[in-house]
Structure 1
Amino acid sequence: MSNLPTGAPDGAAFAASPLTRAVLEIDEYAAGFGWDQPARFFALVDTAQLRAQEPGLAAQLGLEEQQPAGGPGGVTYTPIEQDQLPAGQELDEFLATVAWPEAVGGCAVTLERLMLPPSAEAALPEGLGGSELADWVAKHPERQEVRMTVGVLRDGAQECAIRLREKDTATEVLTGPELVPGLAQALAATFAD
Structure 2
Amino acid sequence: MSSNAGSPSHPDRPEAGTPPMAASPLTRAVLEIDEYASGLGWDQPARLFALVDTAKLRTQEPALAAQLGLDDAAPGASVPSYTPIEQDELPAGTALDEFLATIAWPSAVTGCALTVERLMLPPSAEGSVPHGMSEKQLAKWVAKHPERQEVRMTVAVLRDGARESAVRLREKDSPTEVLTGPDLVPGLAEALAATFAD
Distance 1:8 1:129 in 2: 45
Gaps of 5+ in 2: none
Which residues in structure 2 correspond to 1:22-171 (within 5 Å)?
22-63=29-70, 64-65=72-73, 66=75, 67-68=77-78, 76-171=81-176
- Residue 23 of structure 1 aligns with an amino acid whose one-letter code is V
Identity %: 72
- Measure how far apart 1:8 and its partner are: 4.8
Aligned CA RMSD, in angstroms, stands at 1.3
> For residue 182 of structure 1, what is the aligned residue in structure 2?
187
Distance 1:185 1:68 in 2: 31
Distance 1:60 1:99 in 2: 24
SS at match of 1:92: helix
SS at match of 1:112: strand
- Measure how far apart 1:161 and its partner are: 0.3
- Measure how far apart 1:108 and its partner are: 0.3
Paired residues in the alignment total 187
The TM-score normalised by the length of structure 1 is: 0.93
The TM-score normalised by the length of structure 2 is: 0.91
Distance 1:15 1:190 in 2: 26
Gaps of 5+ in 1: 71-75
SS at match of 2:103: coil
SS at match of 2:57: helix
